[in-house]
Chains A and B, each alone.
Chain A
Amino acid sequence: MKREPLSFKQTVYLLILFIIGSTIILPVGTEAKQDIWAAVLLAIVMTLPVVLVYARILSLYPERNLLEINEQILGKVVGRFINFLFAFYAFTLCALVLDNFGQFINVTAIPETPLAIPMLILCLLALWATKEGLEVIARSGEVYLPIIVFVATFTFLFLTPNLNINRLQPSLYQNSGGIVSAALHLFSFPFAETVIFTIIIYCTNKTKAMAKVYLAGLLIGGGIILLSVTSVMAVIGPERYQASYFPAYLAVQTINVGDFLQRVEVVVFLIAIFAGFIKISLCFFAACKGLSNALGCKEYRFLTVPLGLLEFLFASNLFNSTKQMAQWASEVYLYFAFPFQVALPMVIWILGEVKRRGRQGSPEVDLHDELR
């Protein structure tokens, strides 16, 4: 039987898992302090138009992903060069997430194990999943998301006695600079990282309204992030949030139900590894696809092994310490990601629209449907 393309639900699940990914373990939006909820909301609002642009690009050329669209719009040479850049971005992002999880596991739970071991295993798993194909990743996502939602709900319920709304005050007082800066960071990590999805999915009959897919994924994923960071902030307060590398872990540590359900943070964050694995696999998949396209190969699967090795080496030599990782995330990543998340998609979109107008007489056919 023919393998089906991803369904609407699978794509949305993947988007949600991708957005949750490493975001829930890392200290995101520290600049906003107690107004972090506002920063998340602002970041979602900022991401909306960008995401609609991604969706629009895909809808311009049905049955094609960004790589093929690039070739179509920019021509073979330039298009492939741009695809190479995108593959590089996916590669880097994959290494970053891999590193985040490696550091997280290493610092919080098993400090004596070399950092590289969990990273290597995660990398091998992502390699295997990529070799099996996108459908396997999507189905795994369908298995994981309910588990994540289940565990997260219970974690949230157990955390409620520790929530203290006082820690979120004073709210919105002369903190606009912090909020905007935090929102920018949240925009680049994780929301606009969904540009990776343009490489791996394409517009089919089943996922006709690409904008709908993106909006659903962004809003649900963003909602989960909003809930999680706000509750973490309300449990540990802005001072400890800022000081910690992994604030959510600190917050979950405070769970104590009837003196027997305590010290469960390891189990809770095991579940986060599911989301992280999906994010790593998707990025790695995108990197393989992008590179194979840039090199003009039809098949991407043969690239997984050598690229996996390089990925692991890159990730394990990227940072020497958790401090460096945090510093890089807060100081450099925003500027590094900007071209891939905003600039290049904008250019592609505009060129695509122009080409489309040139190609067709009436370009306004379903514009309203898509950008509604």
Chain B
Amino acid sequence: MFLQVFYANVALVMILIGFYCIASKRNLLKIVIGIEIITIGVNLNILAMGLMENSVEPLAQEMAIVSIAIGAAVAAVSLSILINVYRHYKTLDTRKLRRLRW
């Protein structure tokens, strides 16, 4: 119970660090790293929600494993798009891109 709340808070801190990274950094690679940090935080939250005495519920473990694989797939696709972005602009600075303002 106590560890659950503790890890839920750690997961939230990780997610907020990821959001901060995406929102404030000017480098596209940092944005990808921020997405990965958010993914780690969400996985941590999934496991925290299923935390029992000395073990984690099976469903939570299965969800975390599949979620890790999904995160790796997203990282691979985003990096390959990023290589194509780099070929066009020769830079990773978000301010140099024409429409990438959100």
Mutual binders A and B: no
| Chain B contact residues, CB within 8 Å of chain A | none
| Chain A contact residues, CB within 8 Å of chain B | none
